[in-house]
Amino acid sequence: MSAVVLRCPNCGTTRAAPGECEACHEAEVRYYCPNHAPGRWLDGPACGACGARFGVEPPRPAPRPTPSPAPPPPAPPRPPRPAPAASRTEPPPPRAARPEDLLDELLRGARGGSSGGAPPGWPPDASAPSPPGRAGGWLPPRRERGARRGGPSVVGCLVRLVVVLVLLAVLAVAALVALAGGSLRTWVIDFGQSTGVVEGVPAQTERGIAAYEAGDYTTAERELREAAQAYPRSGLALVYLARLEERAGDDQQARDLLHEAVAREPTSALAHRTLADHYYTAARRRAAAESPEAARPELLRAREHYEHALAAAPGDQLARGYHECVLALLGDEAAAAASRPDCAPVEAR
């Protein structure tokens, strides 16, 4: 049995307090007893038919006790097992006589001086027990097996592994020599020059310089650009690329390449002298176009790099002559008196 509830007669929604239905807002909730089929609408909070009241839960009936299950019937007693019969030990079969054993017994009797005939104790008693494991006749004694060998040691496995790796390395070197042939030494030198371990001019740079001097500027640019990327520690390729840019009229690109060449090889006399020539030529052009004072910054840069070039190569007479020209333009009277008479712009090389 359930308690009386407040229910909306329009939508059937129940609520806890009287008033307007919060769900549909169409009617006031009324008391409703759900204990009848169908339920009953009430005028008050109590149902006169079943006694249910609003907000009062009816008492629940006490649960019926569950009867305990009946104990199972006792199991019938098992019959006693019969006693096991005593095992009978069968006597071993009689040992068969062998001709070899008979011959040995006869020889022993002859050495001991006994008369002919069968030796004492022959034939053997068939009822005598045989030695364990030799029933049915005489057997030769078994040889003891030797100790079992242990597994391979860890040291032995490591030695074998090292030997295999050395052999593989030797085979790899032999295959490389067979494939490369005479170019193996060239490859090693080229790799050393690309990493800065081996000094000298890379072969690709030499090809680019040869093309530049031959007037093949397209091939020279291709070879020199590849060499500049492949040999990041060498600045010689950048020097000749800068000369190509000067010929093309791109002075700013040429100046950037020369600065990169000096950064790669700070002790290169050629890189410093070429950069100084570049600044000296730019200063002469600016002095002619504007004024000598406007060309002073380029002259100072040219003097600086000529001094670096002479420090790296004191016997460079060309660098020394242009250095004196720069000093003369900067107002050094002593240098002007000893300077070259033809302080012209540096020719393109």
Residues 214 and 180 placed together within one structural domain of the fold: no
Q: Give yes or no for a contact between 136 and 96, defined as CB atoms under 8 angstroms apart.
A: yes
Q: What pLDDT is stored for residue 267 in this prediction?
A: 92
Structural domain ending residue among the three candidates 11, 43, 58: 58
Residues 188 and 203 placed together within one structural domain of the fold: no
Q: Is residue 209 part of a domain?
A: yes
Residues 170 and 253 placed together within one structural domain of the fold: no
Minimum mean pLDDT range among 63-77, 104-118, 324-338: 104-118
Q: Is residue 224 part of a domain?
A: yes
Q: Is residue 92 part of a domain?
A: no
Nearest by Cα to 237 from 276, 267, 215, 270: 270
Q: What pLDDT is stored for residue 195 in this prediction?
A: 46
Q: What pLDDT is stored for residue 112 in this prediction?
A: 61
User: Sorting pLDDT into bands at 50, 70 and 90, what band is 348?
Assistant: low
Q: Is residue 210 part of a domain?
A: yes
Nearest by Cα to 224 from 278, 250, 260: 260
Q: Give yes or no for a contact between 272 and 311, defined as CB atoms under 8 angstroms apart.
A: no
Structural domain ending residue among the three candidates 40, 58, 76: 58
Q: What pLDDT is stored for residue 199 in this prediction?
A: 47
Structural domain ending residue among the three candidates 58, 77, 92: 58
Nearest by Cα to 285 from 295, 276, 277, 293: 295
Structural domain containing residue 3: 1-58
Q: Give yes or no for a contact between 10 and 21, defined as CB atoms under 8 angstroms apart.
A: yes
User: Sorting pLDDT into bands at 50, 70 and 90, what band is 27?
Assistant: confident
Residues 242 and 271 placed together within one structural domain of the fold: yes
Q: What pLDDT is stored for residue 184 in this prediction?
A: 46
pLDDT tens per residue across span 73-117: 777 777 777 666 555 566 666 666 676 777 777 777 766 654 444
Q: What pLDDT is stored for residue 21 in this prediction?
A: 86
* 314 has a pLDDT exceeding 90: yes
Structurally, the chain folds into a number of domains equal to 3
Residues 213 and 176 placed together within one structural domain of the fold: no
Q: Is residue 332 part of a domain?
A: yes
315 or 176, which is more confident?
A: 315
Euclidean distance between CA atoms 113 and 132, whole angstroms? 34
Q: Is residue 255 part of a domain?
A: yes
Average confidence score pLDDT of the chain: 77
* 23 has a pLDDT exceeding 90: no
Residues 325 and 254 placed together within one structural domain of the fold: yes
Residues 203 and 285 placed together within one structural domain of the fold: yes
Residues 257 and 319 placed together within one structural domain of the fold: yes
Residues 185 and 242 placed together within one structural domain of the fold: no
Residues 13 and 42 placed together within one structural domain of the fold: yes
Residues 267 and 241 placed together within one structural domain of the fold: yes
Q: Is residue 119 part of a domain?
A: no
Burial of 95 (0-12, 13-18, 19+ CB in 10 A): buried
Residues 289 and 181 placed together within one structural domain of the fold: no
Q: How far is CA 20 from CA 6, 202, 310, in A?
A: 11, 100, 108
Q: Give yes or no for a contact between 193 and 231, defined as CB atoms under 8 angstroms apart.
A: yes
Using H for helix, E for strand and C for coil, what is the string for the chain?
CCCEEEECCCCCCEECCCCECCCCCCCECEEEECCCCCCEEECCCECCCCCCEECECCCCCCCCCCCCCCCCCCCCCCCCCCCCCCCCCCCCCCCCCCHHHHHHHHHHHHHCCCCCCCCCCCCCCCCCCCCCCCCCCCCCCCCCCCCCCCCCCHHHHHHHHHHHHHHHHHHHHHHHHHHHCCHHHHHHHHHHHHHCCCCCCCHHHHHHHHHHHCCCHHHHHHHHHHHHHHCCCCCHHHHHHHHHHHHHCCHHHHHHHHHHHHHHCCCCHHHHHHHHHHHHHHHHHHHHHCCCCCCHHHHHHHHHHHHHHHHHCCCCHHHHHHHHHHHHHCCCHHHHHHCCCCCCCCCCC
Query: Tokens 């494991």 correspond to what residue?
Result: 133
CB count in 10 Å sphere of residue 76: 6
Q: Is residue 156 part of a domain?
A: no
What's the CATH number where 252 sits? 1.25.40.10
Quick one: CA dihedral 16, 20, 21, 27, positive or negative? Answer: positive
The pLDDT > 70 percentage for the chain reads 68
Q: Give yes or no for a contact between 40 and 30, defined as CB atoms under 8 angstroms apart.
A: no
Q: What pLDDT is stored for residue 194 in this prediction?
A: 47
